[in-house]
Amino acid sequence: MQTARFLDRTTPPKIVTLILMAGLSALTMNIFLPSLPGMAAWFGVSYGLMQQSVALYLALSAALQVVIGPISDRYGRRKVLLWALALFLLATLGTLLAPNATVFLIFRMAQAVIAAAMVLSRAVVRDMVSDAEAASMIGYVTMGMSLVPMVGPVIGGFLDDLYGWQASFALLLLLGAATLALVWADLGETASPRRVSLAEQVRSYPALLASRRFWGYTLSAAFASGCFFAYLGGAPYVGDKIYGLTSTRVGALFSLTAIGYAVGNFLAGRYSVRMGMNRMILAGCMVTTLGLAALALFTLAGLSGPTVFFSLMMFMGLGNGICLPNANAGLLSVRPELAGTASGLGGAILIGGGAALAAFAGVLLGPGSSEMPLILLMLASSIASVVCILFVMRRARQIGAP
């Protein structure tokens, strides 16, 4: 029976497979962050240039998500994931062998192909369950997923102090190989491939882009997660240059945000069906906004420091953990038959905005700057997420929707 299942490849995956798929994507984004200052010294370039390894990765990830969704709707989730994981392994090997910063950045951008694992873990969930259940299940998947990046910067900082920045990418190579083997063995095809061309798939975008609901959910998610991406771009500089922390200490403090995110994911999984997607999104956005507003006030009062700065970022993680599973479920529910396309297009907008904010954070934080520009950038992004979900809720009341 087990052999038949292995050969058939038509059964849905275990939830642990979805967690590890999405977790590898998240880990690739953040495990090396504590190493950024040391990598700049290794390659003999400025921190600003090396920080672009975050922004460029996010930018290509956004571009790839535009096509990953339609390709998976056309050819199936399984094939796309297997190819993406194989290409990720090649790109990761390239980062390890890079002789200079330019080559490293090229292969670092190529690692963005792992975005397929994040996009399609959500699409697989939507293939299997209904709208309300999807928000709950995505919450549990991302809660489990968040355990991986929670320890990622901690491990990355520890490995950097012991062996140098290459150790983090060597670990990604090993984990990528293990995930490829797991997906090959466990992930059955959950979608019914649509017998249309990629061009026809892309032509389905206007049906999504014309929907106010799609834009409301997508922009609320984009601005909420934009806080986090700005944090990814600026926090290593704040920790190293402003607070004078070691890589290990910065990595450990990064885990506070991930702890908040895990708790938020649990709350999303526990209460989304009962409270509804829109109210949960609003609650998450408000938690983030209030936490960042408090941090801004503390900083203005001269009461900030590494403990205050990184501890209050836990509220950003908590708010995003509540908001994002529901916002993702919302944008997927606009056109269920285009779940992969919606996941890819929504993800592209979300990650593209994140890339811009991460790059902007790097520009704001220069020699002699404080942490305040980063805090204000994150606060503005969070306020925008509140405005977007209030628009969705107002529109829902106008049409009599729940």
pTM of the model: 0.69
3-state secondary structure of 307: helix
Confidence band of 134 (pLDDT split at 50, 70, 90):
low
Write the single-letter amino acid at 395.
Answer: R
The C-alpha atoms of residue 86 and residue 114 are separated, in whole angstroms, by 9
- Exposure string for 166-201, b = 16+ CB within 10 A, e = fewer: bbbbebbbebbeebbebbeebbbbbbeebeeeeeeb
Q: At what angle do helices 306-332 and 372-399 cross, to 10 degrees?
A: 30
We report the CATH number of the domain holding residue 305 as 1.20.1250.20
Most confident of 20-29, 302-311, 363-372: 302-311
Whole-angstrom distance, CA of residue 181 vs CA of residue 177: 6
What residues make up the domain containing 46? Answer: 12-189+197-399
Contact 347, 59 (CB under 8 A): no
Q: Cα separation of 159 and 50, whole Å?
A: 19
**C-beta neighbour count of 285 within 10 angstroms:** 29
1 in a structural domain? no
Q: Please report whether residue 2 resides in a domain.
A: no
pLDDT tens digit sequence for 75-116: 777 888 899 999 999 999 999 999 999 999 999 999 999 988
pLDDT in tens, 302-311: 888 888 999 9
Which residues contact residue 211 at a Cβ distance below 8 angstroms, ignoring those fewer than 6 apart?
334, 335
Identify which of 128-137, 304-313, 361-370 has the greatest average pLDDT: 304-313
What are the residues whose beta carbons fall under 8 Å from the beta carbon of 301, sequence distance 6 or more?
Answer: none
Task: Pull the structure tokens for residue 204.
Answer: 């389905």
Query: What's the average model confidence in pLDDT over 4-13?
Result: 48
User: pLDDT band at residue 210, thresholds of 50, 70 and 90?
Assistant: confident
DSSP 156-180: HHHHHHHH-THHHHHHHHHHHHHHH
Query: How far is Cα 365 from Cα 234, in angstroms, rounded to an integer?
Result: 7
Whether the pLDDT of residue 235 is over 50: the answer is: yes
* Domain contains 274: yes
The per-residue DSSP string of 47-65 comes to: HHHHHHHHHHHHHHHHHHH
Average pLDDT in the 251-256 region?
81
Task: Choose the weakest-confidence range: 28-32, 51-55, 103-107.
Answer: 51-55
Asked if residue 7 belongs to a domain, the reply is no
Q: What is the pLDDT of residue 3?
A: 40
* Higher-pLDDT residue of 279, 331: 279
- The answer to the question of residue 163 being in a domain is yes
Q: Is pLDDT above 60 for 10?
A: no
Q: What pLDDT digit, counting tens, does each position of 215-232 carry? A: 888 899 889 988 888 887
- CA angle (270 as vertex; 267, 272 as ends), nearest 5: 85
The pLDDT of residue 338 is above 70: no
Structure tokens at 397: 């009341």
CB-hemisphere CA count at 13 Å for 306? 17
Give the number of domains in the chain.
Answer: 1
- Is residue 67's pLDDT more than 70? yes
Question: Taking a C-beta distance cutoff of 8 angstroms, is the pair 358, 55 a contact?
Answer: yes
Checking if the pLDDT of 352 tops 70, the result is: yes
Q: HSE (CB half, 13 Å, CA atoms) of 282? A: 12
Using alpha carbons, select from 347, 280, 376 the residue that is nearest to residue 320. 280
Greater confidence (378 vs 349) lies with 378
Q: Is residue 5 part of a domain?
A: no
DSSP-derived 3-state class of residue 192 = coil
pLDDT band at 167 (very low <50, low <70, confident <90, very high): very high
Residue 130 is encoded by which pair of tokens? Answer: 């209904």
Residue type, 232: L
Q: Is residue 6 part of a domain?
A: no
